[in-house]
Amino acid sequence: MATRTPNDRLRDVIAESGLTYEAVAKAVRSVAAECGTALRTNKSAVDHWVQGARPQPDTARYLAVALSRRLGLLLTPVELGLADGDPDGHDSIGLTLGGDPIDSLIPMWRAELDRRRFLSASAYSVAAAALPLAYVRDIAERSAAARTGQVIGMAEVNAVRDMIGMFSDMDERHGGQHGRSALVTYLRDDVAPLCRGRFRTDEIRAQMLSAASRGVHLLGWKSYDAGQQGLAQRYYLQSYGLAVESGLPGHDGFVMRTMAMQGLKLHRPEHCQGLAETGLTRAKGRVDSQTEALFRVVHAHTLAKTGLSAAALAEVGRARALLEQGSQRGDEVPFWGLAWGPVAPSVFSRTAKVFETLGDHRAAAAEYLHAAATRPAGTYARIVALDLVAGAELHLKRGRIEQACATFGQAMDHMEGVRSVRTRKAVKTMRADLAPFRARGLRCAAELDERAVSFLATA
Protein backbone atom coordinates (compact mmCIF):
# COMPACT_ATOMS: atom_id res chain seq x y z
CA MET A 1 0.00 0.00 0.00
CA ALA A 2 1.39 3.41 -1.01
CA THR A 3 2.25 5.74 1.85
CA ARG A 4 0.57 9.11 1.76
CA THR A 5 2.67 12.23 2.04
CA PRO A 6 1.24 14.66 4.61
CA ASN A 7 -0.04 17.90 3.10
CA ASP A 8 2.11 20.37 5.03
CA ARG A 9 0.86 23.34 2.99
CA LEU A 10 -2.77 22.66 3.88
CA ARG A 11 -1.87 22.04 7.52
CA ASP A 12 -0.02 25.38 7.70
CA VAL A 13 -2.84 27.35 6.03
CA ILE A 14 -5.43 25.86 8.39
CA ALA A 15 -3.19 26.72 11.35
CA GLU A 16 -2.85 30.28 10.03
CA SER A 17 -6.64 30.54 9.75
CA GLY A 18 -7.04 29.72 13.44
CA LEU A 19 -9.92 27.35 12.65
CA THR A 20 -10.36 23.93 14.19
CA TYR A 21 -10.85 21.01 11.82
CA GLU A 22 -14.50 20.95 12.84
CA ALA A 23 -14.84 24.66 11.97
CA VAL A 24 -13.11 24.08 8.62
CA ALA A 25 -15.55 21.26 7.85
CA LYS A 26 -18.49 23.52 8.70
CA ALA A 27 -17.13 26.29 6.44
CA VAL A 28 -16.72 23.81 3.57
CA ARG A 29 -20.33 22.63 3.98
CA SER A 30 -21.49 26.25 3.98
CA VAL A 31 -19.67 27.12 0.75
CA ALA A 32 -20.97 23.94 -0.90
CA ALA A 33 -24.53 24.84 0.11
CA GLU A 34 -24.15 28.22 -1.61
CA CYS A 35 -23.37 26.27 -4.80
CA GLY A 36 -26.42 24.02 -4.36
CA THR A 37 -24.48 21.00 -3.08
CA ALA A 38 -25.17 19.23 0.22
CA LEU A 39 -21.96 17.81 1.72
CA ARG A 40 -21.42 15.81 4.89
CA THR A 41 -17.83 16.90 5.40
CA ASN A 42 -16.66 16.46 9.02
CA LYS A 43 -13.46 17.02 10.97
CA SER A 44 -12.25 13.50 10.17
CA ALA A 45 -12.36 14.33 6.46
CA VAL A 46 -10.28 17.44 7.06
CA ASP A 47 -7.77 15.39 9.01
CA HIS A 48 -7.55 12.89 6.12
CA TRP A 49 -6.81 15.75 3.71
CA VAL A 50 -4.06 17.07 5.96
CA GLN A 51 -2.61 13.54 6.09
CA GLY A 52 -2.41 13.52 2.29
CA ALA A 53 -5.78 12.31 1.02
CA ARG A 54 -7.34 14.40 -1.73
CA PRO A 55 -11.01 15.41 -1.74
CA GLN A 56 -13.17 15.41 -4.86
CA PRO A 57 -12.33 18.36 -7.18
CA ASP A 58 -15.47 20.34 -6.28
CA THR A 59 -14.89 19.78 -2.58
CA ALA A 60 -11.30 20.97 -2.97
CA ARG A 61 -12.59 24.19 -4.51
CA TYR A 62 -15.07 24.69 -1.67
CA LEU A 63 -12.24 24.21 0.83
CA ALA A 64 -10.06 26.73 -1.03
CA VAL A 65 -12.89 29.29 -0.97
CA ALA A 66 -13.58 28.70 2.73
CA LEU A 67 -9.94 29.28 3.65
CA SER A 68 -9.68 32.24 1.24
CA ARG A 69 -12.56 33.93 3.01
CA ARG A 70 -11.04 33.35 6.39
CA LEU A 71 -7.60 34.68 5.44
CA GLY A 72 -8.61 37.37 2.96
CA LEU A 73 -6.50 35.74 0.23
CA LEU A 74 -7.28 34.14 -3.12
CA LEU A 75 -6.25 30.49 -2.68
CA THR A 76 -6.67 27.66 -5.20
CA PRO A 77 -6.68 23.87 -4.73
CA VAL A 78 -3.29 23.70 -6.48
CA GLU A 79 -1.78 26.15 -3.98
CA LEU A 80 -3.18 24.04 -1.14
CA GLY A 81 -1.69 20.83 -2.52
CA LEU A 82 -5.15 19.44 -3.28
CA ALA A 83 -4.77 19.21 -7.05
CA ASP A 84 -2.02 18.85 -9.61
CA GLY A 85 -0.78 21.76 -11.72
CA ASP A 86 -3.55 23.73 -13.41
CA PRO A 87 -2.13 24.60 -16.83
CA ASP A 88 -5.35 26.25 -17.99
CA GLY A 89 -5.70 28.27 -14.79
CA HIS A 90 -9.22 26.93 -14.27
CA ASP A 91 -9.59 28.09 -10.70
CA SER A 92 -8.47 31.63 -11.43
CA ILE A 93 -10.23 32.16 -14.78
CA GLY A 94 -12.14 35.41 -14.59
CA LEU A 95 -10.88 36.29 -11.11
CA THR A 96 -8.29 38.82 -12.23
CA LEU A 97 -8.45 42.30 -13.71
CA GLY A 98 -6.04 43.95 -16.10
CA GLY A 99 -4.93 43.49 -19.67
CA ASP A 100 -7.68 42.51 -22.09
CA PRO A 101 -10.95 41.21 -20.54
CA ILE A 102 -11.64 39.29 -23.75
CA ASP A 103 -8.59 37.13 -22.99
CA SER A 104 -10.28 36.09 -19.73
CA LEU A 105 -13.70 35.65 -21.29
CA ILE A 106 -12.75 33.35 -24.18
CA PRO A 107 -11.75 30.37 -21.96
CA MET A 108 -14.82 31.00 -19.79
CA TRP A 109 -17.08 30.86 -22.81
CA ARG A 110 -15.33 27.70 -24.05
CA ALA A 111 -15.94 26.07 -20.67
CA GLU A 112 -19.62 27.13 -20.72
CA LEU A 113 -20.26 25.66 -24.14
CA ASP A 114 -18.37 22.46 -23.27
CA ARG A 115 -20.54 22.14 -20.15
CA ARG A 116 -17.44 22.09 -17.95
CA ARG A 117 -18.50 21.89 -14.32
CA PHE A 118 -15.55 23.62 -12.68
CA LEU A 119 -16.97 27.08 -13.45
CA SER A 120 -20.65 26.43 -12.78
CA ALA A 121 -19.74 24.91 -9.41
CA SER A 122 -17.39 27.71 -8.42
CA ALA A 123 -18.17 29.64 -5.23
CA TYR A 124 -18.40 33.35 -4.54
CA SER A 125 -15.00 34.82 -3.61
CA VAL A 126 -14.79 37.54 -0.97
CA ALA A 127 -11.24 38.36 -2.10
CA ALA A 128 -12.36 38.84 -5.70
CA ALA A 129 -15.18 41.14 -4.60
CA ALA A 130 -12.56 43.69 -3.55
CA LEU A 131 -10.75 43.73 -6.91
CA PRO A 132 -12.65 46.66 -8.49
CA LEU A 133 -11.93 48.82 -5.44
CA ALA A 134 -8.20 48.65 -6.10
CA TYR A 135 -8.23 48.32 -9.87
CA VAL A 136 -5.95 50.67 -11.76
CA ARG A 137 -7.81 52.27 -14.66
CA ASP A 138 -4.60 52.56 -16.71
CA ILE A 139 -5.02 49.29 -18.64
CA ALA A 140 -3.37 48.31 -21.87
CA GLU A 141 -4.85 49.58 -25.13
CA ARG A 142 -6.29 46.94 -27.39
CA SER A 143 -4.84 46.04 -30.70
CA ALA A 144 -5.99 48.38 -33.46
CA ALA A 145 -5.95 45.67 -36.13
CA ALA A 146 -9.31 44.06 -36.84
CA ARG A 147 -9.35 40.36 -37.63
CA THR A 148 -11.72 41.04 -40.50
CA GLY A 149 -10.11 44.30 -41.58
CA GLN A 150 -13.45 46.16 -41.44
CA VAL A 151 -13.76 49.63 -39.97
CA ILE A 152 -16.47 49.65 -37.32
CA GLY A 153 -19.03 52.42 -37.01
CA MET A 154 -22.15 53.15 -34.95
CA ALA A 155 -24.24 50.84 -37.15
CA GLU A 156 -22.35 47.86 -35.72
CA VAL A 157 -22.67 49.23 -32.17
CA ASN A 158 -26.43 49.62 -32.60
CA ALA A 159 -26.71 46.10 -33.99
CA VAL A 160 -24.93 44.70 -30.90
CA ARG A 161 -27.17 46.76 -28.61
CA ASP A 162 -30.29 45.51 -30.38
CA MET A 163 -29.19 41.89 -30.11
CA ILE A 164 -28.22 42.17 -26.44
CA GLY A 165 -31.50 43.97 -25.79
CA MET A 166 -33.33 41.03 -27.37
CA PHE A 167 -31.42 38.55 -25.19
CA SER A 168 -32.18 40.70 -22.14
CA ASP A 169 -35.92 40.80 -22.91
CA MET A 170 -35.89 37.03 -23.44
CA ASP A 171 -34.12 36.58 -20.11
CA GLU A 172 -36.72 38.61 -18.21
CA ARG A 173 -39.66 36.96 -19.95
CA HIS A 174 -38.49 33.34 -19.86
CA GLY A 175 -35.77 33.15 -17.17
CA GLY A 176 -31.99 32.96 -17.11
CA GLN A 177 -31.77 29.35 -18.28
CA HIS A 178 -33.31 30.23 -21.64
CA GLY A 179 -30.98 31.27 -24.48
CA ARG A 180 -27.80 31.19 -22.44
CA SER A 181 -25.68 29.15 -24.86
CA ALA A 182 -26.88 31.32 -27.72
CA LEU A 183 -25.75 34.45 -25.85
CA VAL A 184 -22.33 32.93 -25.11
CA THR A 185 -21.90 32.01 -28.77
CA TYR A 186 -22.98 35.46 -29.96
CA LEU A 187 -20.58 37.26 -27.61
CA ARG A 188 -17.69 34.93 -28.49
CA ASP A 189 -18.15 34.76 -32.27
CA ASP A 190 -19.57 38.19 -33.09
CA VAL A 191 -18.93 40.71 -30.30
CA ALA A 192 -15.39 39.75 -29.25
CA PRO A 193 -13.96 40.23 -32.79
CA LEU A 194 -15.74 43.60 -33.02
CA CYS A 195 -14.15 44.71 -29.75
CA ARG A 196 -10.75 44.10 -31.30
CA GLY A 197 -11.59 45.87 -34.53
CA ARG A 198 -10.64 49.24 -36.04
CA PHE A 199 -13.07 52.01 -35.21
CA ARG A 200 -13.97 55.19 -37.03
CA THR A 201 -13.60 57.19 -33.80
CA ASP A 202 -12.57 56.65 -30.18
CA GLU A 203 -16.16 57.39 -29.15
CA ILE A 204 -17.47 54.52 -31.29
CA ARG A 205 -14.88 52.21 -29.73
CA ALA A 206 -16.03 53.27 -26.27
CA GLN A 207 -19.67 52.56 -27.15
CA MET A 208 -18.80 49.11 -28.53
CA LEU A 209 -16.85 48.13 -25.40
CA SER A 210 -19.73 49.38 -23.26
CA ALA A 211 -22.22 47.30 -25.26
CA ALA A 212 -19.98 44.25 -24.84
CA SER A 213 -19.80 44.92 -21.11
CA ARG A 214 -23.60 44.95 -20.96
CA GLY A 215 -23.69 41.58 -22.74
CA VAL A 216 -21.17 40.03 -20.33
CA HIS A 217 -23.12 41.58 -17.44
CA LEU A 218 -26.21 39.77 -18.74
CA LEU A 219 -24.27 36.48 -18.70
CA GLY A 220 -23.42 37.20 -15.08
CA TRP A 221 -27.09 37.80 -14.36
CA LYS A 222 -28.07 34.55 -16.08
CA SER A 223 -25.52 32.69 -13.96
CA TYR A 224 -26.87 34.40 -10.85
CA ASP A 225 -30.40 33.34 -11.79
CA ALA A 226 -29.15 29.76 -12.17
CA GLY A 227 -27.66 29.80 -8.66
CA GLN A 228 -24.08 29.79 -10.02
CA GLN A 229 -22.78 32.60 -7.84
CA GLY A 230 -19.05 32.10 -8.41
CA LEU A 231 -19.49 32.13 -12.18
CA ALA A 232 -21.73 35.19 -11.98
CA GLN A 233 -19.03 37.02 -10.03
CA ARG A 234 -16.38 36.20 -12.65
CA TYR A 235 -18.58 37.56 -15.42
CA TYR A 236 -19.30 40.71 -13.42
CA LEU A 237 -15.57 41.26 -12.94
CA GLN A 238 -14.91 41.01 -16.67
CA SER A 239 -17.94 43.20 -17.42
CA TYR A 240 -16.36 45.73 -15.09
CA GLY A 241 -13.05 45.46 -16.94
CA LEU A 242 -14.76 46.20 -20.27
CA ALA A 243 -16.72 49.08 -18.73
CA VAL A 244 -13.52 50.62 -17.37
CA GLU A 245 -11.82 50.28 -20.74
CA SER A 246 -14.78 51.93 -22.46
CA GLY A 247 -14.30 55.02 -20.32
CA LEU A 248 -18.02 55.88 -20.47
CA PRO A 249 -18.96 57.88 -17.36
CA GLY A 250 -20.70 55.80 -14.72
CA HIS A 251 -20.68 52.42 -16.46
CA ASP A 252 -17.84 50.99 -14.36
CA GLY A 253 -19.62 52.19 -11.22
CA PHE A 254 -22.83 50.49 -12.36
CA VAL A 255 -21.10 47.10 -12.44
CA MET A 256 -19.66 47.79 -8.97
CA ARG A 257 -23.25 48.45 -7.90
CA THR A 258 -24.24 45.04 -9.27
CA MET A 259 -21.41 43.36 -7.37
CA ALA A 260 -22.56 45.08 -4.18
CA MET A 261 -26.09 43.75 -4.79
CA GLN A 262 -24.76 40.21 -5.24
CA GLY A 263 -22.79 40.38 -1.99
CA LEU A 264 -25.85 41.64 -0.11
CA LYS A 265 -28.01 38.86 -1.51
CA LEU A 266 -25.46 36.22 -0.48
CA HIS A 267 -25.10 37.70 3.01
CA ARG A 268 -21.46 38.44 2.27
CA PRO A 269 -21.32 42.10 3.38
CA GLU A 270 -17.56 42.40 3.00
CA HIS A 271 -16.77 45.18 0.52
CA CYS A 272 -20.46 45.79 -0.34
CA GLN A 273 -20.58 49.28 1.13
CA GLY A 274 -17.22 50.10 -0.46
CA LEU A 275 -18.43 48.88 -3.85
CA ALA A 276 -21.73 50.77 -3.64
CA GLU A 277 -20.12 53.97 -2.37
CA THR A 278 -17.29 53.90 -4.89
CA GLY A 279 -19.74 53.12 -7.69
CA LEU A 280 -21.84 56.10 -6.65
CA THR A 281 -18.78 58.34 -6.55
CA ARG A 282 -17.83 57.19 -10.07
CA ALA A 283 -21.30 58.16 -11.34
CA LYS A 284 -22.36 61.17 -9.28
CA GLY A 285 -22.57 64.29 -11.41
CA ARG A 286 -21.62 62.32 -14.53
CA VAL A 287 -24.93 60.58 -15.26
CA ASP A 288 -28.57 61.64 -15.48
CA SER A 289 -30.74 61.95 -12.36
CA GLN A 290 -32.68 58.71 -12.86
CA THR A 291 -29.51 56.68 -13.28
CA GLU A 292 -27.98 58.29 -10.19
CA ALA A 293 -31.09 57.21 -8.29
CA LEU A 294 -30.18 53.58 -9.09
CA PHE A 295 -26.78 54.07 -7.48
CA ARG A 296 -28.14 55.85 -4.41
CA VAL A 297 -30.80 53.29 -3.56
CA VAL A 298 -28.25 50.43 -3.56
CA HIS A 299 -25.94 52.58 -1.42
CA ALA A 300 -28.92 53.02 0.93
CA HIS A 301 -29.28 49.24 1.17
CA THR A 302 -25.63 48.81 2.17
CA LEU A 303 -26.04 51.53 4.81
CA ALA A 304 -29.11 49.75 6.20
CA LYS A 305 -27.17 46.47 6.32
CA THR A 306 -24.50 48.12 8.45
CA GLY A 307 -27.06 49.53 10.90
CA LEU A 308 -26.91 53.14 9.69
CA SER A 309 -30.69 53.53 9.61
CA ALA A 310 -30.93 57.33 9.45
CA ALA A 311 -28.32 57.55 6.71
CA ALA A 312 -30.05 54.77 4.75
CA LEU A 313 -33.44 56.51 4.89
CA ALA A 314 -31.88 59.83 3.90
CA GLU A 315 -30.28 58.17 0.89
CA VAL A 316 -33.63 56.60 -0.07
CA GLY A 317 -35.12 60.09 0.04
CA ARG A 318 -32.41 61.41 -2.26
CA ALA A 319 -32.96 58.52 -4.68
CA ARG A 320 -36.71 59.21 -4.84
CA ALA A 321 -36.14 62.93 -5.39
CA LEU A 322 -33.68 62.23 -8.21
CA LEU A 323 -36.08 59.74 -9.77
CA GLU A 324 -38.91 62.28 -9.81
CA GLN A 325 -36.62 65.03 -11.07
CA GLY A 326 -35.29 62.91 -13.92
CA SER A 327 -38.75 61.69 -14.86
CA GLN A 328 -40.08 65.24 -15.10
CA ARG A 329 -37.14 66.31 -17.26
CA GLY A 330 -37.35 63.24 -19.48
CA ASP A 331 -33.76 62.18 -18.83
CA GLU A 332 -32.30 59.67 -21.28
CA VAL A 333 -30.98 56.68 -19.34
CA PRO A 334 -27.86 55.09 -20.90
CA PHE A 335 -28.09 51.66 -22.51
CA TRP A 336 -26.15 50.02 -19.66
CA GLY A 337 -28.42 51.61 -17.03
CA LEU A 338 -31.44 49.73 -18.41
CA ALA A 339 -30.03 46.29 -17.55
CA TRP A 340 -33.10 45.60 -15.40
CA GLY A 341 -35.55 47.60 -17.45
CA PRO A 342 -37.26 50.86 -16.44
CA VAL A 343 -35.54 52.73 -13.62
CA ALA A 344 -38.53 53.52 -11.40
CA PRO A 345 -39.56 49.93 -10.50
CA SER A 346 -35.91 49.04 -9.88
CA VAL A 347 -35.68 51.90 -7.37
CA PHE A 348 -38.98 50.86 -5.73
CA SER A 349 -37.89 47.23 -5.42
CA ARG A 350 -34.53 48.14 -3.87
CA THR A 351 -36.27 50.62 -1.55
CA ALA A 352 -38.39 47.71 -0.35
CA LYS A 353 -35.21 45.84 0.56
CA VAL A 354 -34.01 48.84 2.56
CA PHE A 355 -37.27 48.95 4.54
CA GLU A 356 -37.20 45.17 5.00
CA THR A 357 -33.63 45.35 6.35
CA LEU A 358 -34.74 48.07 8.79
CA GLY A 359 -37.68 45.93 9.97
CA ASP A 360 -40.49 48.05 8.48
CA HIS A 361 -42.41 45.20 6.88
CA ARG A 362 -45.52 47.23 6.09
CA ALA A 363 -43.58 49.82 4.08
CA ALA A 364 -41.46 47.11 2.45
CA ALA A 365 -44.51 45.14 1.27
CA ALA A 366 -46.03 48.29 -0.20
CA GLU A 367 -42.82 49.06 -2.13
CA TYR A 368 -42.55 45.52 -3.51
CA LEU A 369 -46.13 45.65 -4.75
CA HIS A 370 -45.56 49.15 -6.17
CA ALA A 371 -42.52 47.85 -8.07
CA ALA A 372 -44.47 44.90 -9.47
CA ALA A 373 -47.35 47.11 -10.56
CA THR A 374 -45.01 49.60 -12.27
CA ARG A 375 -43.15 47.12 -14.50
CA PRO A 376 -44.49 46.04 -17.92
CA ALA A 377 -45.62 42.60 -16.77
CA GLY A 378 -45.39 40.87 -20.14
CA THR A 379 -41.72 41.70 -20.61
CA TYR A 380 -40.55 41.44 -16.99
CA ALA A 381 -42.40 38.32 -15.90
CA ARG A 382 -39.68 36.92 -13.64
CA ILE A 383 -38.86 40.04 -11.65
CA VAL A 384 -42.55 40.94 -11.28
CA ALA A 385 -43.16 37.44 -9.88
CA LEU A 386 -40.23 37.71 -7.46
CA ASP A 387 -41.30 41.17 -6.25
CA LEU A 388 -44.79 39.80 -5.61
CA VAL A 389 -43.34 36.80 -3.74
CA ALA A 390 -41.29 39.14 -1.55
CA GLY A 391 -44.39 41.21 -0.82
CA ALA A 392 -46.40 38.08 -0.02
CA GLU A 393 -43.75 36.86 2.42
CA LEU A 394 -43.97 40.16 4.29
CA HIS A 395 -47.78 39.92 4.43
CA LEU A 396 -47.27 36.48 5.96
CA LYS A 397 -44.87 37.86 8.58
CA ARG A 398 -47.52 40.40 9.53
CA GLY A 399 -50.14 37.66 9.98
CA ARG A 400 -52.16 38.56 6.87
CA ILE A 401 -52.52 35.03 5.54
CA GLU A 402 -55.35 35.61 3.04
CA GLN A 403 -53.58 38.64 1.58
CA ALA A 404 -50.36 36.64 1.41
CA CYS A 405 -52.05 33.76 -0.46
CA ALA A 406 -53.66 36.16 -2.92
CA THR A 407 -50.32 37.82 -3.63
CA PHE A 408 -48.55 34.45 -3.93
CA GLY A 409 -51.22 33.49 -6.47
CA GLN A 410 -50.56 36.63 -8.49
CA ALA A 411 -46.85 35.82 -8.45
CA MET A 412 -47.49 32.36 -9.85
CA ASP A 413 -49.58 33.87 -12.64
CA HIS A 414 -46.36 35.49 -13.89
CA MET A 415 -44.18 32.38 -13.52
CA GLU A 416 -45.71 30.37 -16.33
CA GLY A 417 -43.03 29.61 -18.92
CA VAL A 418 -40.20 31.03 -16.78
CA ARG A 419 -37.12 28.78 -16.39
CA SER A 420 -35.38 30.13 -13.33
CA VAL A 421 -33.75 28.56 -10.29
CA ARG A 422 -34.87 31.57 -8.27
CA THR A 423 -38.56 31.19 -9.13
CA ARG A 424 -38.47 27.46 -8.32
CA LYS A 425 -36.77 28.21 -5.02
CA ALA A 426 -39.39 30.87 -4.26
CA VAL A 427 -42.21 28.39 -4.85
CA LYS A 428 -40.55 25.74 -2.66
CA THR A 429 -40.07 28.29 0.13
CA MET A 430 -43.69 29.38 -0.24
CA ARG A 431 -44.88 25.78 0.21
CA ALA A 432 -42.82 25.42 3.39
CA ASP A 433 -44.10 28.74 4.78
CA LEU A 434 -47.72 27.81 4.11
CA ALA A 435 -47.46 24.24 5.48
CA PRO A 436 -48.75 25.18 8.99
CA PHE A 437 -51.77 26.89 7.46
CA ARG A 438 -52.53 23.90 5.22
CA ALA A 439 -52.38 21.70 8.30
CA ARG A 440 -55.05 23.90 9.89
CA GLY A 441 -57.28 23.36 6.87
CA LEU A 442 -57.04 26.89 5.46
CA ARG A 443 -58.54 26.59 2.01
CA CYS A 444 -56.51 29.32 0.24
CA ALA A 445 -53.25 27.73 1.46
CA ALA A 446 -54.34 24.24 0.28
CA GLU A 447 -55.39 25.50 -3.15
CA LEU A 448 -52.16 27.42 -3.58
CA ASP A 449 -50.13 24.36 -2.60
CA GLU A 450 -51.84 22.25 -5.25
CA ARG A 451 -50.93 24.85 -7.82
CA ALA A 452 -47.34 24.97 -6.55
CA VAL A 453 -46.95 21.18 -6.81
CA SER A 454 -48.16 21.29 -10.41
CA PHE A 455 -45.79 24.18 -11.21
CA LEU A 456 -42.74 22.41 -9.75
CA ALA A 457 -43.55 19.25 -11.69
CA THR A 458 -43.42 21.07 -15.02
CA ALA A 459 -41.06 24.05 -14.49
Banded pLDDT at 114 (limits 50, 70, 90): low
pLDDT digits (tens, 9 = 90+) for 178-218: 778 889 888 988 888 888 788 889 999 999 999 999 999 99
Phi, psi of 152 (to 5 degrees): -95, 135
Q: Which residues pair with 459 in a beta bridge?
A: none
In the chain the first and final C-alpha atoms are separated, in Å, by: 50
Among 229, 209, 211, 207, smallest CA distance to 220 is for: 229
Q: Within 13 Å of residue 223, how many CA atoms lie on the same side as its CB?
A: 28
Question: Residue 452 — very low, low, confident or very high, per pLDDT cuts 50/70/90?
Answer: very high
Cα–Cα distance measured from residue 353 to residue 279, given in angstroms and rounded to the nearest whole number: 19
pLDDT of residue 139: 31
pLDDT confidence bin for 64, thresholds 50/70/90: confident
Is residue 135's pLDDT more than 60?
Answer: no
CA dist., res. 55 & res. 66, Å (int): 14
CA distance to 217, 223, 224, 260, 432, per residue, from 263 (Å): 15, 14, 11, 5, 26
Three-class DSSP category at 199 = strand
Contacts of 387 (CB under 8 A, 6+ apart): 345, 349, 352, 368, 369, 371, 372, 375
C-beta separation of 326 from 294 below 8 A: no
Radius of gyration of the chain (CA): 23
Is the pLDDT confidence value at 118 over 60?
no
Q: Using CA atoms, how far apart are residues 164 and 238, in angstroms rounded to an integer?
A: 17
Q: What is the pLDDT of residue 221?
A: 93
Q: What is the pLDDT of residues 427-437, one digit of tens each?
A: 999 999 999 99
Residues 138-159 have pLDDT tens digits of: 333 333 333 344 578 999 999 9
* Strand 198-199 versus strand 151-152 pairing type: parallel
Residue 439: per-residue pLDDT: 92
